[in-house]
Structure formats: C-alpha cells, structure tokens
Amino acid sequence: MILEPKADYDSLIRSFVWAIPKRFNIAAACCDVWAARDPDRPAIIDATGGGHVVTTFGQLQVRANRLANALASRGVGRGDRIAIMLPQSADVVASHLASYKLGAIALPLAALFGVDALAYRLADSGARVLITDASGAEKLKTIRLTLPALEFVLSTQGPDGGALDFAQLVAAASPHLATADTSREDPALMIYTSGTTGLAKGALHAHRVLPGHLPGVQWPHDFFPQPGDLMWTPADWAWAGGLLNILLPSLFFGVPVVAHRTPRFDAEQAFALMERLQIRNAFIPPTALRMVRSVERPAQRYKLGLRTMASGGESLGAEVYEWGQRELGLTINEFYGQTECNLVLASCALNGVSRAGSIGKAVPGHVADIIREDGSVCDAHEQGQVAVLRPDPVMFLEYWNRPEATAAKFIGDWMTTGDQGFRDEDGYVFFVGRDDDVITSSGYRIGPGEIEDCLLRHPAVSISAAVGAPDDIRGEIVRAFIVLRPGFDASEALAADIQSFVRTRLSAHEYPRRIDFVSELPMTTSGKIIRRLLRERP
C-alpha cells in the first residue's frame, strides 16, 4: 500500500494493491514501531512563540503509556470515548495515542468550540473523559452538570475546579504498557461533521482509516516521504484535514511534524515559520492560501525550502494554482474528500496529474467518480454527484447512533458526498458546488442547523435561516436571515449582539458575518425553508 513512483498514472493505478494487516493499531504503527527502532528520532517540533522544543518518539511513547495507564486505573477502556480539545502540541498526540493504546475511541474537538457546540458533542458521544486546557475547563464549568456520562476532565494547565492535573497524573503513572491488540475494523476515532439538517453527526472510523490515508498523503506530496521532509499545517489537528492528512500519516512514516499555536492565521508569520524551520512539506487550506497571496514577492523575501505544498477542504481555484507556480515555483497539489471518506481524489504534478481548476483524479486504491441519481456513472462533462465506491479503507464505519442517516449516505455501493461535479474526457474531476445546504467557510464544513439552533436561543430571534454567501477570502461566509420577535427592532447594534452571541456559544468560524433582518422567510408548503431562494438574494 506504499506508493512507489511510476512513469505514468495508469501504471501506478494498475500496480497498486492494498495490504492492510488484519490486526492493526494506530498507536503501534505511529509510535511504538519508531520508539523501538529509533527512540531519539524527532516526532513533534513545537515552534510556538519562536521556540524549538523537540519531542522524540521515545518520549512520546512514554507519555502516551503513562496517560493510558492513568486512564485505565480509573476504569477507562475499550470503546470508551475520550474527547481531546487542545491546540497543536505534543499533548494532543499523546492523548490520541493513549486512546488507541487502550482500544478506546478518540474524539477530537476544535479548541475554538463554544459551550453549545461542546455540550452537544460531549453529550451525543457519551464521552467519559475530556482532555483540555484552562480555556476548555472554563467553558465546561457551565455545562458539566448536563453531562452525566463525563466522569473525568484533565487539564494540561493544572487543576481547575473539577479538572484534574494532566501533568501530575501522567507523571505518577507507569511508563510501561502493552498496546491493545485491535483489528483493522475496530473503532478508533470519531469526528463530528455537519449536515444540512439537524445537528452535527459523529463519523466513526476504524483503525484502518490511517493506512487507508497513506496513498492520499504520499501522492499529492510527490511520493512522500523523501529524505529531509518536515511537515506543517496551520489546520487544527482536531479537523480531519489536520489529523488524518498530516499528523498521523507523517508519524507513521517517521517524519516530524511542526506544532505552532497562534490565535489566528497570519500570512507573514507563516512564511517566517517556514523559513526558520526550513519546512519541506505544507498543507495549507485554500482560504489561508488566499491570504498568503497578499504577501508580495515571497520567494525573494523568504529563503524557503519547500518541496511540496498541498491544499484541500474547499475548491482551490485556477487563480491560486497559477499564483503558486508563478510566485513560489511550486505546483500546489489539490486533493478532495470529506470527513466520512477522505483523500480519495488528488493531484500529483510529479506524476503528471495536475490541471488548473481540477481537484484531480482518483487516488490509487480508491474508486471515485461522478454518478447520477440512480447510481449509474455519468458521461464526460455530465454533471452529477461525486461518489466513492465501497468497500474503501478510509470510509467511515457509521454515523454514531444514526443508522438511518448512515443508510441514506449510500446509493447502492456508492457513498454519496452531496457535492456536484463533472469529469472531463481525460478523467480529471472538477468541483461545481454542493447539492445540499452545507456552508464551507475557511475549509470548515458548517451545517445551518447548528447555527439556527443557536440563533433561536437569542431572545430577539423568532426564526432564522443560515446560508453561505460568496467571499473572496473564505470561499463562503455565513449569512443569516432573521425574523425578530415582537418588541425588538432591527439595528446594527442588535446584529452585532447576535453575532457575538453565536461566536461565543458556537465558534468563531460559525458565527454569521452578515445578518439580514426580514419580515418572513420563503417556505415550502410542508414548512421547510427554501434556502436556495435566500442564497440568490443580493
């Protein structure tokens, strides 16, 4: 399943064979193997604040073993959900590895989540443990009593109220542990993804999700790894893009990953970081790349050592693609997937598969195509839905406690994505748009249901609808149409108050950057909001 460079794409496809062991554990593959072979090998390089703190594979294994033992002594074991809400750091990695070592299920949560988003995911998953920092522990104080399944909270910044001291627990536990003997089909992690209706759904993945991702990482990074490779992404490691596209695959290959915590993405800071550490491989989402384009003459101002740059999460576009070639001397390799089935389409300029405006071709080992509503495959240039054929090792096991939603995700053996596209006569796939109402902003998939549910909690809101509005930087922004309750008058001050309310209770990327106060919303006869008409409004 490891890709070897071939002269052309067709020969690469023909020669590829999956070889995932029946017994497989992510922690064993990403840490234990390297800790035994080369314990002093760098795993995480923390460059936050201009620093350079190295955590080796040997140190990572000891920390993960100690944490796993500390949790096991409190009864945490196979199948239990362990929520992890931390910014990029070695503690994030140790927490994931400890979960896999126990045969538990890691539940990555974005550090920017507000209390409502956090409460929903912890309650829906039935998480027994939350590993977080002081900021997360503070958010939890107001909702802890609503989460009876949550037994333990560990804070990496010391005890705080009901939170236990992460460092103290780790230090007191044994460094010796036998990693759980898991099958490739055993559950390993769950990432919540937003849909068009209702609240977010937990996409449950098996341990096979890691080896399933390897070809999709190797290919767009020009047959990664190569000697001297060093990986970095500004994407949150709680997102599938940060965790499964970068962090875990890099560790599998023994390639160190740079951790860099910053309140917000800064283009000049990104170039300075890449120059300082001589980063060789970067995954930068399209929104961040659009911001990076504002930096003048980057190749002349910064001494970069980049070998590859990849992008995904939303459409890159021909303009940014051409900018990369012109200003960086690199072809940005675009890839495509979603939380339920990630990295199935990609580009690889080194292998001759690259075209401006295209999200690429099927990654070796995956069958992805454009299908009609009846599941038949579309002709060239015929628009249809992007779909992936099962079985596929990166495909999710199920939506957590949502069997009907899981079944609805498939047409026969095709897993649907809800994304419209077409394939040209050369096999390149082009993204057209979504056939649902999911909003993609700065690479995040945002479901309108969660935003609308939060808006309804504001005392001034009677009913609302959230849609995506085009934006040059973020791809889309959240635009909310709001009908006010009697006694409230539309004003800029009220709009700002509502925006602050959502930003605080959900997260910074989900709040409506534009608010329109309206007297009524367009609806079907069955009472469903017609969001298409709202998206068409100027």
CATH number, domain at 458? 3.30.300.30
pLDDT band at 195 (very low <50, low <70, confident <90, very high): low
CATH number, domain at 128? 3.40.50.12780
Q: Is 7 domain-assigned?
A: no
Q: Please identify, among 161, 186, 207, the residue that sits at the C-terminal boundary of a domain.
A: 207
Percent of the chain's residues with pLDDT above 70: 97
Report CA 281 to chain centroid distance, whole Å. Answer: 18
Helix (H) or strand (E) holding 373: none
Strand positions, DSSP E, 115-235? 129-132, 152-155, 164-165, 187-193, 201-206, 231-232
Looking at the structure of the chain, the number of domains it has is 2
Q: Per-residue pLDDT tens for 358-403?
A: 999 999 999 999 999 999 999 999 989 999 999 999 999 999 999 9
**Residue 527 pLDDT more than 80?**
no
Residues 535 and 466: their CA atoms lie apart, in Å, by: 9
Domain extent at residue 65: 60-207
For residue 285, CA distances in Å to 30, 297, 335, 341 come to: 24, 20, 10, 18
**Residue 3 pLDDT more than 80?**
yes
**Residue 44 pLDDT more than 60?**
yes
CB-CB contact of 111 with 86 (8 Å): yes
233 closest CA partner among 297, 306, 293: 306
Q: Is 214 domain-assigned?
A: no
Collapsed DSSP state (helix, strand, coil) of residue 507:
coil
Q: Please identify, among 165, 187, 207, the residue that sits at the C-terminal boundary of a domain.
A: 207
Q: Is 268 domain-assigned?
A: no
- Mean of the per-residue pLDDT values of the chain: 93
| pLDDT the model gives residue 474 | 86
| pLDDT the model gives residue 528 | 63
Burial class, 378, CB count within 10 angstroms (exposed 0-12 / middle 13-18 / buried 19+):
middle
Q: Is 322 domain-assigned?
A: no
Q: Per-residue pLDDT tens for 62-118?
A: 999 999 999 999 999 999 999 999 999 999 999 999 999 999 999 999 988 889 999
CB-CB contact of 259 with 90 (8 Å): yes
For residue 113, CA distances in Å to 109, 179, 313, 459, 510 come to: 7, 31, 19, 22, 9
| pLDDT the model gives residue 279 | 98
| pLDDT the model gives residue 431 | 86
281 closest CA partner among 221, 350, 354: 221
In this structure, what DSSP letter does residue 338 have? E
Average pLDDT score over residue span 477-498: 95
Residues 366 and 45: their CA atoms lie apart, in Å, by: 32
CB-CB contact of 358 with 386 (8 Å): no
Q: Is 376 domain-assigned?
A: no
pTM over 0.95: no
User: Looking at the DSSP assignment, which residues form a beta bridge with residue 345?
Assistant: 336, 362
**Residue 529 pLDDT more than 80?**
no
| pLDDT the model gives residue 509 | 83
Greatest C-alpha distance within the chain = 70
Percent of the chain's residues with pLDDT above 90: 77
Residues 143 and 258: their CA atoms lie apart, in Å, by: 33
Cis peptide, bond prior to residue 225, ω within 30 of zero: yes
Rg (CA), the chain: 23
pLDDT band at 161 (very low <50, low <70, confident <90, very high): confident
Q: Is 477 domain-assigned?
A: yes
**Residue 1 pLDDT more than 70?**
no
Q: Is 512 domain-assigned?
A: yes
Q: Please identify, among 207, 228, 262, the residue that sits at the C-terminal boundary of a domain.
A: 207
| Angle of helix 492-505 versus helix 115-125 axis, rounded to 10 | 30
| pLDDT the model gives residue 446 | 80
pLDDT band at 231 (very low <50, low <70, confident <90, very high): very high
Q: Is 115 domain-assigned?
A: yes
Tokens representing 482? 């709001």
